[in-house]
Each structure stands twice: as C-alpha cells, then as structure tokens.
Amino acid sequence: MLTESDLYIRPLYQIDETIHLCIPTLLTGQFTRVVDYYVNTEVAPAVKSKKSENKGRFFELDFVDTLEEQIRKNKLLKNIFCKVLNVGFEQRPGKDNEEIDIILRIGETYLIIEAKSFTYRIGSSGLKNNIKTITESNLERKKQFFIDDYERFKKSYDPTANFVFDEAKVLCCYLSSAPHCVGIRLNGYPVVDPSIIERYFGNSNFVMVNQDKGIKNFCFYKNELEAEKNLKRYLDELPQLSHYRNCFSYARSNFQRLYKGKKVIFDEPYFDFGSGRIEGELLKTWSLADRWHAIK
C-alpha cells in the first residue's frame, strides 16, 4: 500500500496489517508539502495502476452529471435547447485520432470543453506542470475537427439541430479539475474549473455583498436569448473574478543579479488588496451588476 520513505512526510504508515496515523506530519508547518508528497507518491501511482485514462473519463462523466442536473433545475433555460450532447466524440479512423471530451449546445451555440483531470498539485512546480499539460492540448485543432465533422456529429448526436450551422458559434474552453490557471487564457482559450461552468448554467448569477449597500445579484442573463448570447463574453471575462484580475500588479524587486556583465532587475507579481484598490474594483463590479447581462 505504501512505499518506503521518511516518516515526517508520511501521514499514514503500515505495521503488519494495521494502518497508523503519523501525528508529527499533521503538526508540521509544511503540511501542504506532506499532502503534495503523499498524493504524488501514493495516490497517483494507485490511480495509474488502475488505468489512468479512466480517471479523466470519470471526471468528465461526474462533471456532466452535475451540470445536467443544474440545467434541468434552471427555470431560465426551460424554453431553450440546452444539453450536453456527447462525451468523447472521436475522429474518424485514419486521421489525427482527435477526441473531443465534452460537447454542449445552448440554442445554436456549441461549447467544446477540453477536460483535464489533475492530481492536485501544490507549489510553483505543480502549477507549471498543470499549465504545461493544458498547453500541450491543441484545442484549436479539435475545434476544426468538430467543424469539419459537424454533419457526422449532427446525424449521430444532434438530429434536432434544424438551423444553419455557424462556425462563429463554436466556442471552446479548457476545464481543469483543479483551480490552477482559472481566469487566464492558454492557447488563446479560457481556462475554467467546474464551478465556473456550473455557476453559469446552474445559478445564472453570483451574489455580491456590500457593507453599505447590502446584497445584489450579478446576473449573467435574465432570459434564454441572453443565456446563449452571453456565454462567450462570460467565458472571456469571468466577471466574478474581475476584481482579482484587476488588482494584479507587478512591483520592482530588491533581488538583482548580473548576467553576462549586465544587471538584471526583477519584477515580482502580487495582488494589491491595499490602498482602497480592491474596494474600487468591487464598486465597478457592483455598478455593472444591473446591466452586464444586457450589454451588447
């Protein structure tokens, strides 16, 4: 069950047939490293030994089950076609062997979702590896495969699509099982996690709280037409994250080095949550809440 390693990074260890909890690992100040190490050395190999490709499909199907339930409960979507049409649409044999993980249609707009199931990684190296995994997936090529094979897809999975297919209404995004990279674009496409997609199709809004002004709903749409039209803008902007994104800055670092005789000065990224900046950004989002859904 467990491999040999130092006790201080092993939350569980086995003596004979009994599993014991190693208390010191829970008390260390580097507990996140303990979890990261345990996941990578114990959980990940166990998953891999049971065919790691099933891990990704399990994530996709579990996400789709939750999403479909939320769509059914959303009263604003009851008068528009909104459904996950397929999980695992494969290209014809003999081509590039592409596979689209999830395809959803709302109205006449298709959303292609490239799902990535990660073992949760902690630290900069884990984030770097997740970004590398996502960027290695050519979503543009998968989009083109869908466009080229649309008639075959329609015949098998979307026979009620009685409208003129518009390539401009084929949207794409990366779906990460971990919150890493959410809110940025990779290969030109937005990265989201399950909560981002579920928030749009399930809740259709998020709640804002202001100490002086009270509570307000930031609505993504108020009818089925807006639900289809605003999907692209939602994925591009993610308004619930805008105040974080707009408070992201760089500051000159005191760390300096020489490289080939030249002085190198570094900038450090940080979130500026001081000096009233975050309050200003939240007020901007607050003022947008009443009209974002109707902006053309």
Reported as a single tens digit per residue, the pLDDT across 228-240 is 999 999 999 999 9
Q: Are residues 97 and 194 in the same domain?
A: yes
pLDDT at position 11 over 90 = no
Number of residues assigned to the chain: 296
**H-type helices in the chain, by residue range?**
23-27, 31-38, 44-49, 53-73, 124-135, 139-148, 150-157, 194-198, 224-229, 231-237, 242-246, 277-288
From 175, 203, 231, give the residue that closes a domain.
203
Domain-embedded: residue 211: no
Range ranked top by mean pLDDT from 126-130, 184-188, 212-216: 184-188
Please tell me the distance from the alpha carbon of residue 16 to that of residue 188, in angstroms, as a whole number: 53
- The per-residue pLDDT for 127 is 79
Examine the domain organization and report whether 56 and 46 are in the same domain.
no
Residue 22 has pLDDT above 70, yes or no: yes
Question: In this structure, is residue 28 part of a structural domain?
Answer: yes
What SS3 state is found at 150? helix
Number of domains in the chain: 3
Q: How far is residue 291's CA from residue 199's CA, in Å, rounded to a whole number?
A: 18
Cα distance between residue 79 and residue 68, in whole Å: 15
% of the chain beyond a pLDDT of 90:
47
CATH code where residue 144 lies: 3.40.1350
Same domain, 56 and 193: yes
Instruction: Tell me, yes or no, whether 56 and 152 share the same domain.
Output: yes
Q: Residue 259: give the domain boundaries.
A: 221-296
Whole-angstrom Cα distance, residue 294 to residue 292? 5
Question: 153 and 60, same structural domain?
Answer: yes
Is the same domain home to 175 and 267? Answer: no
The answer to whether residue 210 sits within a structural domain is no
Q: How far apart are the first and last CA of the chain?
A: 57
Distance from C-alpha of 33 to C-alpha of 41, rounded to nearest angstrom? 12
**Residue 209 resides in a domain:** no
Question: Is 71 part of a structural domain of the chain?
Answer: yes
Out of 9, 25, 50, a domain closes at: 50
Final residue in a domain of this structure, among 50, 65, 83 = 50
The amino acid occupying position 67 is L
Q: What is the pLDDT of residue 28?
A: 57
Residue 25 shares a structural domain with residue 126 = no
Are residues 3 and 71 both part of a single domain? no
Give yes or no: residues 114 and 155 share one domain. Answer: yes
Q: Are residues 68 and 160 in the same domain?
A: yes
Supply the pLDDT for residue 210.
81
Which pLDDT score, from 0 to 100, does residue 2 have? 44
The whole-number average pLDDT for the span 178-197 is 92
Average pLDDT over residues 192-216: 91
One domain, residues 90 and 164: yes
158 in any annotated domain: yes
Indicate whether 142 belongs to any domain.
yes
Q: With bands split at pLDDT 50, 70 and 90, how would you rate the model's confidence at 225?
A: very high
pLDDT digits (tens, 9 = 90+) for 146-181: 999 999 999 999 999 999 999 999 999 999 988 878
Same structural domain, 145 and 26: no
Higher pLDDT pick, 54 / 113: 113
115, part of any domain: yes
